[in-house]
Structure 1
Amino acid sequence: MVTPAVLPVVAAPRSDSPAWSSWLQRLDRTADRGLIWAAVAGGLVASGRGPLRRAGVRGILAAAATSTVAHALAKPLLPRSRPWSRRFPSAHAASSTAFVTGAAMESPVLGAALAPLAIGVSSARVSLGERTFADVAAGAVLGAGIATLTRRWWPVVRHAPARARPAGGAPALGDGAGLVIVANRSAGTPGPLETLGQIVAPVVGVGGDEDEEDPVAEVHAEIHAVLPKAQVVIPTPGEDFVVEVEAALDRPMVDGSATRAIGVAGGDGSVAALAGLAQRRHVPLVVLPEGTLNHFARDVGIDDSPSALAAARDGDAVLVDVGLVDITPAEGEERTVAFVNTASLGGYPDMVKLREDWEEQWGKWPSAAMALVRVLAEATPLVVELDGRRQSLWLLFVGNGGYQPRGMAPLSRPRLDARVLDVRYLRADVPFSRTRFMISVLAGTLARSRVYVANTRTRLSVRVVGPPVGLATDGEVQPDSERFVFRIAPKPVPVYRSREEIPRP
């Protein structure tokens, strides 16, 4: 077998053009220590756009890992002594290929746009006589391989709408008569609008300084443009807006018609509250993604408020499950809380909060990983009874529907009407469970780990053994309690979304 150390190599000829040589030298210097890719990654992260931000983060992590492997392992193990080259393979080519490959996983168009830059960096090494073609080719193979391996611990998630059955009985709202929408101003930045605690219908003349941006006024304008006869509830700060919407449902509409649908302009917490009301009152739901992150709206396939309003006008909807949890506090009456995404106990509420704080800057998966490390380092075990069986755990996650991937952190769900709960928890009764968990995450073997349990159920009963704890539902923390029963609502809720976004079940 011929080893790389004895392969015949020939240095590439140097360019005879001083200007071309000078340009190549500048390009080569910018690639030293990955400076050029750090700058590209910074620009992508600062762009704020999801795919571009994720591409920048994955690309720079892949490049950093590749550079470490190239310098710490490949070069010492595969030395090649010769006058024009220090060692094999080319770290410049390796890190450049790793960055572009990683970025292309998140955004193929971006990867294609960056490929010429990576080729230029690699070609400069050959043209300047610093590396041979074999050095560069080996570096490219190394970089592409390591970038591809990042999928084992950071899955590539395609944010396509989840599947669901069409809701054939959802009414076409036409001009909006019979629709009540709550515009939850607490889901965004407050503006100068002072018409609080009232119903505005039709949606005109909402007031405010025209020179100042007001997110509530903007929502009013969007609603009025598509559904001019819709009634909008602007809740009073500090009050339960669900009560205000229920009161609106119980009194006649302005035009004397009955309420045919309810809607919400806000984030996941507001959507969950109104989804529970829609389930109880057997009416369809309009979701306007006006919150901070809008995970549920993205899963449903609602990209913006105008498309959701157009779907309501035309009667295009799908059936979506709603999760319910019956909460029994130490003192007081049992109450039922709805959730459309997830509910969690233990350190999970803190992890979710940290992840959401960092997600806009770093992307969902890196933020989740950093938040998980921090929470696990500071957490204390939670002793509970799961369906009567005592268990010590660090985190408990309950998802509305089966999330993917199974052997990693839950990132997406393929269906909105799976009729199951996704239950996952990290055991605390196994020696070195947190360390073993992190090793399994990095190795991509979490699905086979003893410390991580993931399954699906139709019902889950949880009793806390010890002081009451808080439950997080869709980012909202509920009062401390000691008993929780999770289940799926008996009937799904029709949620309006554009027909073009409805994939086949």
Structure 2
Amino acid sequence: MSSASIPSVPPLLTGVRGRFHSRDVAVFQNLARRHWPAAGPVLPRLSRSANHGLLWFAAAGAMAAFGGSARARRAALRGVASLAVASAAINTVGKGAVRRERPILDAVPVIRQLKRQPVTTSFPSGHAASAAAFATGVALESRGWGAVVAPVALSVAASRVYTGVHYPSDVLAGAVLGVGAAFALRGVIPTRGQLPAPGRPPAEAPALPDGRDLVVVVNQESGTATATASLVKDALPEAEVVECPPDRLSAELEKAAGRGRALGVCGGDGTVNQAAAVAAVHDVPLAVFPGGTLNHFAYDLGIETVADAVAALGEGSAVRVDLGRFRPGPDGPGGAHGYFLNAFSLGVYPELVRMRERWSPRIGGWPAGVLAALRVLRGERPLEAELQGRRRPLWLLFVGNGLFQRVGPAPGRRHNLADGLLDVRVVHGGRTPALRLLAAAVAGPLTRSPIHAATRRQRVRISGLKPGTPYAYDGEVAHSGSELMIDKLPEALTVYCPRPV
């Protein structure tokens, strides 16, 4: 190799910095001369696919759409958010702090070089930072998905040296910055695993390790319930599993509650809502198997998989939880009470739920929710209602069954599933619903402002409603009369729940 191919040390890089640069160049040239088996057709393409984070956005989209669990969606979102933090740090501070020139490509075989060479400075590697940030963010929420993403992230980082666009130290510094960005974000927005488990008073329930005397009712049209039911049959061979369409769900739940020592249910929040009402009336413990598009109640119990529910059944581990109640119920003034495990709401959310349910069979639940939100926030008007004796326009009235913690800007996990309190949040009417809802989310759970108010109550009275006003409870939509009364039944339901780790 000629002396012309060896980059000289710039005059400013003297002393320790100069020696470090010289060693970095030597390592780079050594790697450039080496043969990397099977890397030729893979690494250059992988390096190009990661331009502008496109590879990671595609990976996050696939995880969210096909991951099959809330944990996968959380991991995808945290990965993208961590990448965004790392990119901001690289572009605002990193590239300008050390203006290092790119490596000279004389030692790199032409077949390995990128067709379009980057024009920014070399230190640190933005690709390595994005890869490390995404992989670390994903792993902080889900070790399983982290293990899937990590080899791809390592390959992207290695590709930057392989193609000759970065020195090894550029890649190492970028990776360190990316990991740091993911942990910095976790310091601001905790992962679900960092949050303390909700308080739940223990309850007596029979241990059913093989599922004997357990009847599980499955909503055939609820999310992944049919696939989940197959897992339940394998894990609990003695359990009786009844699959039925939504119009027979209520009748099958009533029959099941009278046949076994415990009632099981497989479906989303709306399905679990119906099972909870039956279990509370018949005073039998409830086993929840998450199988819907949304499974908020199951996740707050610490049940994210069939294995979690099976473990609780095997140990007879159970807790008592509050049951939210509203009157009149969804059958009208002469009907029974309505119940909710998670939340009751008026305003834009019921319309969002209705539109999401209409579109989700065609495009999937997650994309349908995004499109429904865009459509609703653009065209809706605030409703008029009298709340606690005062009439006002409202974009949203949210009543949570228990106080919710924050995970970032939105309500997250509940502090206590049996605290006897309602978490009441109001977004006042105005011309810009999207901005007002966002401001209310950022404001926090217990604030008062011209836009948003939040308080703790044991009961809420709403009157002056236009008859037929839609409301939502646990993802289901019904229509009101002129007034509603919302309160709670403390510790009304016994539910199987894994023991805290």
TM norm. shorter chain > 0.5: yes
Matches within 5 A, 1:462-473: 462-466=462-466, 468-473=468-473
Per-residue CA distance 1:356-380 (angstroms, 9 max, x = gap)? 877999998x997776555433332
On the 8 A contact 1:383/1:391 being kept in 2, the answer is yes
Is 1:502–2:499 an aligned residue pair? yes
Question: 2-side partners of 1:459 and 1:236: how far apart?
Answer: 34
Cα distance, 1:457 vs structure 2? 1.8
SS at match of 1:399: strand
Q: Which runs of 5+ in 1 are unaligned?
A: 191-213, 254-258
Is 1:12–2:25 an aligned residue pair? yes
Q: Which has the higher contact order (CA 8 A, sep 6+)?
A: 1
The number of residues matched between the two structures is: 457
Change (3 A) 1:324 1:53: closer
Change (3 A) 1:403 1:316: same
Cα distance, 1:440 vs structure 2? 7.5
Per-residue CA distance 1:223-280 (angstroms, 9 max, x = gap)? 98325xx7x87778746x5467557878xx7xxxxx7654444432232223223333
SS at match of 2:202: coil
Cα distance, 1:146 vs structure 2? 4.4
On the 8 A contact 2:322/2:419 being kept in 1, the answer is yes
Is 1:58–2:78 an aligned residue pair? yes
Cα distance, 1:293 vs structure 2? 3.9
Change (3 A) 1:476 1:432: closer
Matching residue of 1:31: 47
SS at match of 1:322: strand
Question: 1-side partners of 2:146 and 2:224: how far apart?
Answer: 35
Change (3 A) 1:104 1:185: closer
On the 8 A contact 2:263/2:284 being kept in 1, the answer is yes
On the 8 A contact 2:353/2:476 being kept in 1, the answer is no
SS at match of 1:278: helix
**AA in 2 matched with 1:503:** P
On the 8 A contact 2:324/2:486 being kept in 1, the answer is yes
Matches within 5 A, 1:60-139: 60-63=80-83, 66-67=86-87, 70-71=90-91, 73-74=92-93, 77=96, 80=99, 82=101, 84=103, 86-87=120-121, 88-108=123-143, 110-111=145-146, 114-115=149-150, 118-119=153-154, 121-122=156-157, 124-125=159-160, 130-132=165-167, 135-136=170-171, 139=174
Is 1:280–2:316 an aligned residue pair? no
Change (3 A) 1:174 1:475: same
Question: 1-side partners of 2:197 and 2:290: how far apart?
Answer: 14
Cα distance, 1:188 vs structure 2? 6.7
Question: 1-side partners of 2:147 and 2:307: how far apart?
Answer: 32
Per-residue CA distance 1:261-312 (angstroms, 9 max, x = gap)? 5444443223222322333343433444454544323333445668757866
Question: 2-side partners of 1:414 and 1:244: how far apart?
Answer: 33
**AA in 2 matched with 1:58:** R
Question: 1-side partners of 2:231 and 2:120: how far apart?
Answer: 62
SS at match of 2:386: strand
Cα distance, 1:90 vs structure 2? 2.6
**AA in 2 matched with 1:411:** G
Identity across matched positions, percent = 37
Cα distance, 1:337 vs structure 2? 0.5
Normalising by structure 2, what TM-score? 0.71
Q: 1:164 aligns with which of 197, 200, 203?
A: 200
On the 8 A contact 2:327/2:485 being kept in 1, the answer is yes
Cα distance, 1:477 vs structure 2? 0.9
Question: 1-side partners of 2:368 and 2:189: how far apart?
Answer: 11
